[in-house]
Amino acid sequence: MKKILLLFLGMFLIALGTVINTKTNLGNSAIGSLPFVLSKLSNLSLGVMTNIVYATFIILQIIILKEINKKIVLQIPITILFGVLIDIINYFWFINVNSIYASFVLLFFSITFISFGMFIVLKLNLVYNTPDGLVKAISTRFKLKNGTSKNLLDFIVVLISIIISLISFKSLQGVGIGTILAVIFIGRFISLWEKLLGGKL
């Protein structure tokens, strides 16, 4: 039961960080940029669009690995939970950003929450967060290091987000300095949590 509660806490923190990220107006995390752009393009909420994008990631894992295993199946309820949490947090969000300083403060909290949530989920090793599952599938299939696969996936997702925003909005949406900072610091913050709390979870 403790592990289930910790898993829920981890997913909640990632969802909270993701929502905060969208409020900074500095650009979303690499993976979060695509659901954000597609949500703005459609009438669907960010949570629902995140579910759709993550469902695509699950399908890609099956195609890449040419199998359906337990690790993939368990991502389905986690993905649904994640989308629901995003929409709930979005619904109750009340903080308005009115300065560039506030934006960077929010970005710091976003990176902190996302990294700590990812640290918890990775440490528990019960189920992959869906993007991490796709990274693992790419690494396994093409014999790449996880870091290389992560960078490749981030690049592809951000590129797709840029193309869609430029075609649909004639400007960048969901991609900016915040995207770059998230790519740089989320991994480093996870390493920091590992050093500080690695043996206590």
| pLDDT tens digits for range 99-146 | 899 999 999 999 999 999 999 988 888 888 899 899 989 999 998 888
Neighbour tally for 167: CB within 10 Å: 9
Q: Is residue 183 within 8 Å of 154, Cβ to Cβ?
A: yes
- CA angle at 146 for the pair 174 and 18, rounded to the nearest 5°: 30
3-class SS at 35?
helix
Residue 70: CB partners within 8 Å, gap ≥ 6?
none
- Whether 21 has a pLDDT exceeding 90, the answer reads yes
Q: What gap in Å lies between CA 50 and CA 65, rounded to an integer? A: 22
Question: What pTM, to 2 d.p., does this model score?
Answer: 0.90
How many domains does the chain contain in total? Answer: 1
Query: What tokens were used for 90?
Result: 């979005």
The range of the structural domain enclosing residue 25 comes to: 2-197
pLDDT tens for 145-188 read 888 888 899 999 999 999 999 999 988 888 999 999 998 898 88
Mean pLDDT of the chain: 91
